[in-house]
Structure 1
Amino acid sequence: MAFSVNTNIGALKAYNALVKVNAQTEKAQLRLATQKKINSVADDTSGYNVGKKLEAETLVKKAQLNNISSAKNFLSTAESALLQISDKLNQIKAKQVDASDPLKDSAAIAKDIRTLAAEISSILGNTTINGVNLLSSTSAPSFNVGGAALTFDFSTSALGVAALEAAVGTSNLQSTTDSTVLGFDTTTVADNVRTALGRIGNLSQALDSREEFLTAAIANNTASISSIFDADVAMEQLNATKGQISSQIGTAMVAQMNTAPQQILSLFR
């Protein structure tokens, strides 16, 4: 073994070991502080990229889940309006039959029917959400709720808004002529309303299915993100404690090895 004063190789090795221990200790302490095992891309490039992609997908799915809530509100409002229209059409049909009784006041019944028709017309024109008419004959809004966009076409394809508006208009059920009011056949428009309600039911079922899928997908993505980014707190605490002890020992060893060349002075006595 050679004795050298100019270069203390042992002390340098001890110093390098101490630097390594301190770096590992700092990493464990940082993970404890942030509760994450990946705090920079350098920690795990592949894991970081995969995790960020999963986070982006999860944000999109959460937005789609919010869209489902809005879509359900849309359908619920339209359903309530159509149920009222259906009930009023049933009442109109019953009153028309009632008016055939010679002992009844057909003129008074015709007035009742005009009032019901006016209410239906009001519902058609005022069933809106955020300025959008839900029972419009020209608008069929789409919602991005995951997968293929759902188009709410119950109004344009099933309801037959134009025919319904004509039925409750001044030429038919709101006509000033009692015979026209009492003789108008509501069968077709009533059937259309029921068909539209059925379409709303189908769309609601589709929304429930997609909500279930998105909820499960978000939960699975969150679990994957957690496994990639979240730190094992118990293990990192062990590493931090081990590092602190090793750092203290390493510092003491550097100090001892740094003074080792002084032993050579005994050769000059």
Structure 2
Amino acid sequence: MAFSVNTNASALSALLNLNNTTRDLEKTQTNINTGLKISSAKDNAAIFSIAQKLRADLRGYNAVKQSLDRSISTTDIALAAAGSISDLLIEMKEKTVAASDSGLDATSRTALNEDFAALRDQISTIVANAEFNGTNLIDAGTDAVVAITNPNATQTISIAHQNLTLGGGNVDITATQTITTQADATVALAAITASLTKVSAVLTKLGAGGKSLESQRIFADKISDTIEVGIGNLVDANMAKESANLQSLQVKQQLGVQALSIANQAPQSILSLFGQ
């Protein structure tokens, strides 16, 4: 071994090893603090890029789920309203059939007509209140449900508008319909019978659409969970492993400090060559 006061190779080697250990220790501490083994492109550019793309997809699916939730709520309200209207039409049919009896007295016919009118007007009330987030699928407007189903917003599920207003496309009973006479009752009965058929078709369409939305919502949850797990597999730190590394590196750092201290004392031995 050469003795030199200008160059201390042992100290330089010990310092290099200590710096390496310190960097590893800092990286391990960062992994523990963040819970990530890859927290920036510096750690692994390719994996970080893949993880970022997956994170973007995950955010996109969050928007998909919000769109589906709104659409499901809108459809559910329209479906409930359509079901109530169907029930009202059935009650109205009962009143109308009774009013078709030619032997009915005037008092009974008047009472039946009042009940009929009350049921008729309830349809208008239900239609007016069948709204969610500004969208009404069964009024006289043109609102429709369009829910996005993928994170790029290029695929959708649509549910068409269904007019259930009095005298509208699917309800033949008008806002002024009465059953004050046998003839009126006969006309009303025909309108109610046709309306029941049409409203049943509306219920089928809304029900099928609602089922599709719910199925897509479940699928979106599964996809989101899968993406989230995939991101974790790519970038999450193994905390048990990091804990073991931390303890090992802390001991290694302490030993490195001691080794550097010993190496720094080496030049002192030169003094013994001069009788010091």
Question: Common fold, TM-score beyond 0.5?
Answer: yes
Aligned-residue Cα RMSD (Å) equals 2.4
- Partner letter of residue 252 of structure 1? Q
Further displaced range: 69-78 or 132-141? 132-141
SS in structure 2 opposite 1:234?
Answer: helix
In the superposition, the TM-score normalised over structure 1's length comes to: 0.89
Displacement, 1:95? Answer: 1.9
In the superposition, the TM-score normalised over structure 2's length comes to: 0.87
SS in structure 2 opposite 1:259?
Answer: helix
Partner residue of 1:244? 250
> Over residues 187-240 of structure 1, what are the superposed CA-to-partner deviations in whole Å (9 max), with x where a residue is unaligned?
222211111100111112212221221111111111111112211111111111
- Partner letter of residue 50 of structure 1? I
Moved over 4 A (4+): 158-161, 174-178
* CA distance in 2 between partners of 1:145 and 1:74 (Å): 16
SS in structure 1 opposite 2:168?
Answer: helix
* CA distance in 1 between partners of 2:166 and 2:125 (Å): 16
* CA distance in 1 between partners of 2:2 and 2:139 (Å): 97
Select the structure that is richer in helix: 1
Partner residue of 1:129? 132
Is 1:106 the counterpart of 2:109? The answer is yes
Is 1:36 the counterpart of 2:36? The answer is yes
* Percent identity over paired residues: 29
Displacement, 1:161? Answer: 7.1
Task: Describe the shift of the 1:179–1:102 C-alpha distance in structure 2 as closer, same or farther (beyond 3 A).
Answer: closer
Partner residue of 2:184? 180
| Structure 1 residue corresponding to 2:269, chosen from 242, 263, 266 | 263
| Structure 1 residue corresponding to 2:212, chosen from 192, 201, 206 | 206
For structure 2, list consecutive stretches of 5 or more residues without a partner in the other structure: none
Further displaced range: 159-168 or 119-128? 159-168
Partner residue of 2:62? 62
* CA distance in 2 between partners of 1:133 and 1:212 (Å): 24
Further displaced range: 210-219 or 122-131? 122-131
Further displaced range: 189-198 or 59-68? 59-68
For structure 1, list consecutive stretches of 5 or more residues without a partner in the other structure: none
Partner residue of 1:11? 11
Count of aligned residue pairs for this structure pair: 266
8 Å CA contact 1:18–1:247 kept in 2: the answer is yes
* CA distance in 2 between partners of 1:221 and 1:161 (Å): 50
- Partner letter of residue 85 of structure 1? I
* CA distance in 2 between partners of 1:127 and 1:101 (Å): 35
8 Å CA contact 2:38–2:48 kept in 1: the answer is yes
* CA distance in 2 between partners of 1:29 and 1:88 (Å): 69
SS in structure 2 opposite 1:36?
Answer: coil
* CA distance in 1 between partners of 2:133 and 2:214 (Å): 23
Displacement, 1:12? Answer: 0.8
- Partner letter of residue 255 of structure 2? I
8 Å CA contact 2:130–2:136 kept in 1: the answer is yes
* CA distance in 2 between partners of 1:124 and 1:261 (Å): 96
8 Å CA contact 1:82–1:193 kept in 2: the answer is yes
Task: Describe the shift of the 1:229–1:161 C-alpha distance in structure 2 as closer, same or farther (beyond 3 A).
Answer: farther
* CA distance in 2 between partners of 1:165 and 1:238 (Å): 73
* CA distance in 1 between partners of 2:125 and 2:221 (Å): 38
